[in-house]
Structures are given as structure tokens and as C-alpha cells.
Amino acid sequence: MEKELNETEHRYTLDAVCPWCGYRYLDSQEFEDEEDSIECGNCMRKFSLQREIEVTYCTERCETDKYTDIKKLTDIDRKDILNFALQKSKEFHEEDF
């Protein structure tokens, strides 16, 4: 069962909010991570602050990469080798007749 928030708790807000007087700190990022408690500059009462950080990643393909270039060369080389072998095989068999 989830704990219900009361008016003195503020969770997942974009700015720190004093749970005593509701003062919103627009410069919340300036609080030190090591601080155990903060004294509100508005009502002078203490409250605790916990900073929640979410990290996300975005990726995208590069236009070219070494693997793609090597694979293309390998495919071309394979075709050239097969064509060369086929041509030589035909020449060899033509000499027999």
C-alpha cells in the first residue's frame, strides 16, 4: 500500500519546496549534496532534502563505420574471387576439348 502524501511532503518536484511554509527554491541546484538538513530562508525552520537524479541515454547510427566498410570490401572480394575461380575453371575445361 502506497503511503499518502500529506501537505508537508513534496515529492518529485522540479524545485525544492519547504515542507513547512511551501516556499519554492528556484535555485535548488545550488544546494550541496552533503547537507543533512536545510534551514528555510523564508520561515527559518529545518527540513531534509533528497535530490533525485534520472539518467537516460540516446543513441543513433553513424553514417558509416569501420565494420560496414570492411563487410562491403569482404563481400566484393568474395565475389571477385568466385568470378575469378569460375573463369579459370571454364578456361581449364575449354582446354580439355
Question: Does the global pTM surpass 0.75?
Answer: no
Q: Are residues 43 and 11 in the same domain?
A: yes
The number of folded domains in the chain is 2
In one letter, which amino acid is 53?
I
Q: Are residues 45 and 71 in the same domain?
A: no
Q: Are residues 46 and 72 in the same domain?
A: no
Q: Are residues 6 and 36 in the same domain?
A: yes
Q: Is residue 56 part of a domain?
A: no
Q: Are residues 32 and 68 in the same domain?
A: no
Here the cell at position 88 is 579459370
Q: Is residue 57 part of a domain?
A: no
Q: Is residue 59 part of a domain?
A: no
Q: Are residues 86 and 41 in the same domain?
A: no
Q: Are residues 46 and 91 in the same domain?
A: no
Q: Which domain holds residue 85?
A: 64-97
Sequential DSSP letters for 56-86: -------S--HHHHHHHHHHHHHHHHHHHHH
Structure confidence at residue 39 (pLDDT): 92
Q: Is residue 95 part of a domain?
A: yes
Q: How far is CA 94 from the centre of its chain?
A: 62
Binned average pLDDT, 10 residues per bin, the chain of 97 residues: 55 89 88 80 92 88 66 67 78 64
Structure confidence at residue 86 (pLDDT): 81
